[in-house]
Amino acid sequence: MRECLQRSDVHHWKGDFHDTAGTDQLFAGHGDLARAAAKKALSRDPNLLLAQALLYAITPGTESMQKVDAAAEAGASLPDAERTELAFWAASKHADSEKARTLQLKLLELAPRDWRAHVYVATTEFFLGHKAEEGKKHLREAAELNPKAISVWATLAAIAIEQGDRAGAAEAQKKVADMRPDDPAAQADYAYALITAGNLDQAERIARRAAALPNADAKPLAALANVEYYRSQYAQGRRDLAKARSLSKDDFERMGLMLFELLSYAAEGKYEGAMQAASALEKEARARNNPNFYVVAAMNRSFAANLLGKYDDGQKHAVEALARIEKEPLSDAGRKGLQRGAWGRTSRRRRRRSPCSTRTPRSRRTISTSSRRRGGAGGSSSSSTGTRSRRRKRCRSACRRSTSATSIRPSPRRRPATRPAHRRRGRPCWRGSVLRTRSSCRCDRSS
């Protein structure tokens, strides 16, 4: 395997692949670009063990888990640092977070000048340990070792969002956008950060400019669709998503865009549209042999049904999702993450419809109270607006759960986005950092 530890001068591959490229793209949320880098490396040298480990760590299924294990075993004679890094990827694939964290810390001791080791530790400290300051400390060190690493600034942006500093998150992503003015992914990430900060007009300008680049891919159009959903322009948003799918060269990214479309129907209140989108996603997942997305389709059927008041259908689809989790050939990490999301859905459903409860369901209670205040039928307009508002809130919350369930990099506990003025008029406030489709919503469905 090509030696890359202890080197901070290699930032991205130029003709030749360096393991830093795939790692940087993956931890920046670009799983499709990480896969492309790893595949290109392996086409030139099939014996690059770290490229193997990275590729199969973000590929779903039990077979990929075995390949990660094989790469770790094949590296038994490598230096301690490289052997430790391979073992870390294997532990992550088996959902052994404690072992993975121990190996990350060991790698940092062995290679303190490797910026990637600092990124590994930083993301674990923040996303799993919720230790923002500790994570920021390691990210600053990584930035000093490799100022061009985009994953450093992407993670600093996530920490800023968690701490309520959305302007700071936009500034972090702007650094990457300025470093890479002709990179569609970097520009799209900046647009997402602007959406989160509530600056929709500038986000639209950035997304449209990125979409016009000669090398534009799916990401700028996905960001543009996000802006349009914020503005309740659902039809136009879905047209832009269709264009994005036609440009995408990555199966995982295309399925992530399909999931994005499903959620847009749910937020708009179109049950049949959401179910049809789920069916299309299931068909595509089967055709591409992706068991994770096949499960995710059932989970989001349940979510959309519950969101739109079809509680019996929601329960049925939740049970189906749990059955698929048990029988599909998932990796340990994929199964654990999906189980967490599916059980959360079924437990919420049971609480909502518990036969022991004597309380009126919230939706009925709100509608009846509103009707009384406004004189019977005259309350329908107010109650409808309130129901749409609650539906959109639940859509954003459930999207966070569904899109983070199978991520190779766990999602933080994010706070709600700042509500722009149009949100108070009953329009949806889609969070760019939640619904964005950077490599399938920052989640490859691939653990």
- Has residue 36 been placed in a domain? yes
Q: Please classify residue 413 by burial: count the beta carbons closer than 10 Å to its beta carbon, then call 0-12 exposed, 13-18 middle and 19+ buried.
A: exposed
User: Confidence class of residue 208 from pLDDT cuts 50, 70 and 90?
Assistant: very high
Q: Which of 16-20, 30-34, 104-108, 181-185 has the lowest mean pLDDT?
A: 16-20
Residue 315 has a pLDDT of 93
The number of angstroms, rounded, from the C-alpha of 62 to the middle of its chain's C-alpha atoms is 21
* Overall domain count for the chain: 1
User: Is the pTM of the predicted complex or chain greater than 0.85?
Assistant: no
* 67 within a domain of the structure (yes/no): yes
Q: What is the pLDDT of residues 356-401, one digit of tens each?
A: 333 333 333 333 333 333 333 333 333 444 555 555 555 544 444 4
Instruction: Decide if 7 is inside a domain.
Output: yes
DSSP states of 250-292? -HHHHHHHHHHHHHHHHHHT-HHHHHHHHHHHHHHHHHTT-HH
Query: Residues near 262 by Cβ (< 8 Å), separated by ≥ 6?
Result: 274, 277, 278, 281, 297, 300, 304
The pLDDT value recorded for residue 442 is 38
Q: Give me the mean pLDDT over the 145-152 stretch.
A: 95
**255: pLDDT strictly greater than 80:** yes
pLDDT (tens digit, 9 = 90+) per residue, 390-409? 555 555 444 444 333 333 33
Over the stretch 285-339, which tens digit does the pLDDT of each residue have? 999 999 999 999 999 999 999 999 999 999 999 999 999 999 999 999 999 989 8
CA distance 306 to 300: 10
d(CA 255, CA 284): 7
In a domain, 76, yes or no: yes
pLDDT given for residue 371 in this prediction: 35
Q: Which residues pair with 14 in a beta bridge?
A: 16
pLDDT score at 170: 97
Domain span at 128:
1-163
User: 28 lies in a domain?
Assistant: yes
163-to-138, 270, 396, 417 alpha-carbon distances in Å: 17, 34, 19, 12
Q: At what angle do helices 200-211 and 218-230 cross, to 10 degrees?
A: 150
Burial 144-164 (b: 16+ CB within 10 A, else e): ebbebbbbbbbbbbbbbbbee
Distances (CA, A) of 153 to 67, 169, 172, 200, 274: 31, 9, 5, 21, 35
The predicted pLDDT at position 344 comes to 61
**Alpha-carbon span 51 to 2, nearest angstrom:** 10
CATH of the domain at 131: 1.25.40.10
Query: Judging by beta carbons within 10 Å of its beta carbon (0-12, 13-18, 19+), is residue 140 exposed, middle or buried?
Result: middle
The answer to whether 70 and 56 have CB atoms below 8 angstroms apart is no
Confidence band of 341 (pLDDT split at 50, 70, 90): confident
Answer yes or no: is 130 within a domain.
yes
Dist. CA 122–CA 166, nearest whole Å: 20
pLDDT in tens, 273-285: 999 999 999 999 9
Asked if residue 216 has pLDDT above 70, the reply is: yes
Whether 351 shows a pLDDT value over 60: the answer reads: no
The reported pLDDT for the residue numbered 388 is 54
SS3 217: coil
Please give the pLDDT value at position 345: 58
**Cβ atoms of residues 192 and 436 within 8 Å:** yes
The confidence score (pLDDT) of residue 299 equals: 95
Main-chain phi, psi angles of 111, to 5 degrees: -135, 70
For 193, phi then psi, to 5°, come to -65, -40
Residue 201 lies in a domain: no
pLDDT at 132 over 50: yes
Rounded to whole angstroms, how far apart are CA atoms 177 and 114? 24
The per-residue pLDDT for range 24-70, each reduced to its tens digit, is: 999 999 999 999 999 999 999 999 999 999 999 999 999 999 999 99
Position 342 scores a pLDDT of 75
Does 194 reside within a domain? no
Average pLDDT, the chain: 80
Q: Are 124 and 104 in contact (CB under 8 A)?
A: yes
